[in-house]
Each structure stands twice: as C-alpha cells, then as structure tokens.
Structure 1
Amino acid sequence: MYSFSPFNRLIKAAVLSVAFFMSADVALAQPFKKLVWSDEFNGTGLPDANKWGYDTAMGCPKICGWGNNELQYYTHKNTRNVRQENGMLVVEAHKEKMGNAQYTSARIVTKNKGDWKYGRIEVRAKLPAGRGMWPAIWMLPTDAKYGGWPHSGEIDIMENVGYWPDSVLATVHTNAFNGMKGTQKTKGLNFKDLSTAFHVYSIEWDATKIRFYVDDQLCNEFKNTGKGKDEWPFDQRFHLLINIAVGGNWGGAKGVDDSIFPQKMFVDYVRVYQ
C-alpha cells in the first residue's frame, strides 16, 4: 500500500494468469492461541484512542497521496470518515473537497498502541465497492530498524481495487522484493461477495514465514530465506493500518466513478494472538 508505481504494471499482467490464484483449501496451522490485543468496536463515536491513531494528509501541499498519487484527504478524528457504529468500525470515503483533494477518507493506525513481533493478526471485514476504491488492511514497521520504505518491510494482509471486485491480494514488500522494482511477492484469491459479506483476513507470522489467509484459506506464503534483512526484515515490531484510498496508481488505474459515493468498509473486529 505504501508505494506502488510499478506495482500496477505487475498486477495487470497477473490478471491475465489463471495460475495467479490459489483455489485449494489449505489447513490453518493455528500455533498462536493467546489473545493479546483486540478491538470489538462496541463503543460509539470515534475509535478507542487508546488503540488507534490517525495518519492524515495535513501538511501535504499538492497531492495528498502518500506516494501512490491517491486522490483522498485522510482526515483526523472525523466521525464522517471513521466511527464505531452498531458494533462495527466504519471507514467511509466521500466525494467532497478538502484542501487540494476532491475526496475524503480515513487511515487509522495502531502505531505505539498495538505493535507486535510475530503472532496471528486477524480482521473480519466487509469491503467497499466501485471503480476507484482501494481498501487495505496492512502493516508497517513501528521502529523502522533497517531504514525507510521498503528496507524495513511491509505486510499487506488484504488489498482490493474496485475495478477488480472479485479479487483480494496479499503482498510482502522488502528491499529485495518491492513494488518499486516490480519484485514484490503477491498472490490472491477470488470471492464473489467481498462487498456484501464479511470475510476474515489474517496472517500467521513467525521467525520462519508469513502465511496469509482469507477465511482460513491460504492465500500467500512468504518464507525467510536466511539471506538477511534485504529479504527478511520481519524480525521487528509492526503495527496495523486500516484505510480506504481513492484512486491512485493502482486503485485509480481505470478512473474513479463519482456516482458510487459514499462508500464504506465495515470492520467487525481486530484480534491479535501470540
């Protein structure tokens, strides 16, 4: 999610390959049993400030795109864009002007409030729909021990783009494997109801591998090659991000349909086990 200029070209090629998708169910290992952090979103108003902070587009003078040429302005503590409601977290994108952007949305983060090295991270969510949507559930390093992106890594638990509505992708970025080089490690699965039903998006991460699941079906696996931090920077703390981007290099590859707004992502819960 962080920077995907050449990522768009790789994804277009991947769409043409049926082999890109894994259709077989794979048993979940489930080595992580102890619940160490969770949010069930049973409150009202803004998300729990003890668990969530905000990435905002404040101070972005021209394009509020976080390196991806996205079109939204991520707001700060605005219940129009993020709130707890009916036992759910709601992230909502609107067609409205703010600053230099024509759209608003939210990007909430657990940085320094929920940071983990290894474990099972699972998020039950229902996605927005429509051309131009780019929802993501993902992780970034809290301490950036090995330097700025992509040196310290990125874990994309779930990404979807609205013009490709039946597909979810799971991706790893490192210094050796990343979107700037077109070498990121990506695989995906097909579902027909991503915007009408809830699915559980999760990873199981230890010192040897990261496995990505959708409803306990294996989506991707990235193994520690033992060749060092350029290929495996995942021996440090990471935190969670949840957001809806609008447009951008990948999400906006086929434009944005302004008739679809507002669009919402619903999150039933976030649970972390170790």
Structure 2
Amino acid sequence: MKRFALLLAFLALMAACTHRSEPGWKLVWEEEFDGESLDPTIWSRIPRGTADWNNYHSSDDRCFALRDGRLVLRGIVNDDRAADTAAYLTGGVETRGKHAFDGGRIEIRAKLQGARGAWPAFWLMPFDEEHEGWPHCGEIDIMERLNFDTFAYQTTHSYYSSEFGGGLGIKNDPPHGGTGPIDPDAFNVYGVDFWPDSLVFRINGRRTFAYPRIETDREGQFPFCRPWFLMLDMQLGGSWVGKVDPADLPVEMEIDWVRHYQWE
C-alpha cells in the first residue's frame, strides 16, 4: 500500500509539470489564484437554483477563500436559518458570459476533501447556451467525485446520450462516461482534450476515457465543437450523491490552478 501511495504521489507531481514537459501543447491562458481577490472580469459566484446540484449555492463569504495561491471552495452548515432557510451553504465560481474556452486542452489541479454528501465538480457548459436548451447544447463534466470515493467520474451529456430533457438516452453506443483513480489525500490534475473526432479525458496525465464522434442518423451525438464556460463548485447532497452528514462539515476543495492549452 505504501508503494502504491508513493506511486500516486509521483504521478500527481509529474502531471503538475505537464505544461512544461509535454511537447505539442502551448499554454494560452492560466489562472493561478495568486491575487487577493478573484478577477471579476473572469469569475462570478454561482447563484442558487432549483437543480439538484445547486440547492445550497450561496454568496456567503465563508464559502470562498484565496489561501496560499489557491482558491478554496467550501460546503458548510448554515448557522443562521433566519437569514437563509437552506440547511447548508456551498461555494462555486464560473466564467459564464466572461471567459470562453474554445478547444485545446483544459486542466485543473485540485485537492478534494471527502465528506458524506460531498459532490465537488469541474464542468463545462456552452458559452452560447442561452440560444439552445439542455441537453441539446451539451455538457462536459471534467471531474465529479462523490463522498469519500478514491476515483472520479468524467462524463459527456448531449441530446443523444441524456435520458433527461427529452433526450434519446443512448448512453452506451458509445459509452458517454468513465472513471479514473485519484489520490484522495493529495492534489490531482483533471483534464479534457478537444479533438474534431473525440473528447479525451485525463487524470494526472493519464488517459482515462474518450468519447468519439460516430456516424449516426440520430440527432445531437457530438455537440462539442464550440466555445465553453467553466464551472468550479463545491456541491452538497442530491439524488446521486445521497444525504449530507453535517458532522463531516465543513468540507472544502483547494484549486491550485486552471490552465488552457492549444495544440501547435
């Protein structure tokens, strides 16, 4: 077990250096979270909504921090139900309407605390999504981790693959998601590469899953060749992750950096 842990730590370290060592990729944008506050021309706090994943999103400052060059997003017990009736409060940020990612490779280095009901996620939605409803517009989940899992989910959604929103629900032709191992006690690097014929997902520099464009007469199989905005959020509770255990809170994730590359 000790050797396995050392191997995971080594792989994570090597993945953190991929922007310097891997040929062919040019760094075109990065966020290092080194300032005293987030750049308001890039980032906004995610507002609360009615969807399963954002029942507890809040602008409460306790859910956000910049610490040692890292963005910290927290899930906490709400101690003032008179001011806000939600049982819990969570923090998330997004580049919606401000900064688009158009192809290339996107990577995020982060450390995730575990908790019962914790559901941290990094995901992409179309920059022009207001012109097209979900799931027709597509969705790319770079990382979702549940509870204390030692692996992360990486998933694509579209009208073709989704069983919700009136979609066709074709999940396995081809498979629309996969998983990859993580070191739950360390920083890991989560990424996706955009190619004209596929999306290729990675964890710590290693390929975990690919979703191909296929020849089909069915609608909406590969709506992924478009600009996207990025969402980073600490989620709590929901039908997929299960109930929250308040004894495990607060829970947080630390995001070291976000990097965007283009293939040269």
The structure 1 residue matched to 2:201, chosen from 212, 229, 246, is: 212
Cα 1:238–1:113 change in 2 (3 A) is same
The alignment yields a C-alpha RMSD, in angstroms, of 2.2
CA distance in 1 between partners of 2:95 and 2:24 (Å): 20
Aligned residue number for residue 13 of structure 2 = none
Is 1:247 matched up with 2:237? yes
What amino acid maps onto 2:153 in structure 1? Answer: L
CA distance in 2 between partners of 1:144 and 1:257 (Å): 34
The structure 2 residue matched to 1:141, chosen from 101, 126, 134, is: 126
Q: Which has the larger radius of gyration?
A: 2
Name the SS for the 2:61 alignment partner: coil
Please state which structure has a larger fraction of its residues in helix: 2
CA distance in 2 between partners of 1:269 and 1:249 (Å): 30
Aligned residue number for residue 15 of structure 1 = none
What amino acid maps onto 1:86 in structure 2? Answer: D
Q: Give structure 1 stretches of 5+ with no counterpart.
A: 1-27, 58-63
Cα drift, residue 140 of structure 1:
0.4
8 Å CA contact 2:32–2:69 kept in 1: the answer is yes
8 Å CA contact 1:140–1:154 kept in 2: the answer is yes
Aligned residue number for residue 58 of structure 2 = 75
Aligned residue number for residue 238 of structure 1 = 228
8 Å CA contact 1:118–1:207 kept in 2: the answer is no
8 Å CA contact 2:198–2:212 kept in 1: the answer is yes
CA distance in 2 between partners of 1:182 and 1:244 (Å): 29
Aligned residue number for residue 15 of structure 2 = none
Cα drift, residue 117 of structure 1:
2.0
Is 1:268 matched up with 2:253? no
CA distance in 1 between partners of 2:186 and 2:154 (Å): 19
Report matched runs for 1:178-189 at 5 Å: 178=162, 180=164, 181=169, 183=171, 185-189=176-180
Aligned residue number for residue 158 of structure 2 = 174
- Count of aligned pairs between the two proteins: 231
CA distance in 2 between partners of 1:85 and 1:206 (Å): 35
TM-score computed with the length of structure 1 as normaliser: 0.78
Is 1:91 matched up with 2:73? yes
Aligned residue number for residue 12 of structure 2 = none
Is 1:43 matched up with 2:31? no
Aligned residue number for residue 61 of structure 1 = none
8 Å CA contact 1:178–1:185 kept in 2: the answer is no
Aligned residue number for residue 257 of structure 1 = 245
8 Å CA contact 1:65–1:248 kept in 2: the answer is no
8 Å CA contact 2:160–2:170 kept in 1: the answer is no
CA distance in 2 between partners of 1:145 and 1:99 (Å): 29
The structure 2 residue matched to 1:199, chosen from 183, 188, 195, is: 188
Cα drift, residue 79 of structure 1:
2.9
Name the SS for the 2:25 alignment partner: coil
CA distance in 2 between partners of 1:113 and 1:165 (Å): 33
Aligned residue number for residue 11 of structure 1 = none
TM-score computed with the length of structure 2 as normaliser: 0.81
Name the SS for the 1:233 alignment partner: coil
CA distance in 1 between partners of 2:43 and 2:159 (Å): 28
CA distance in 2 between partners of 1:231 and 1:186 (Å): 14
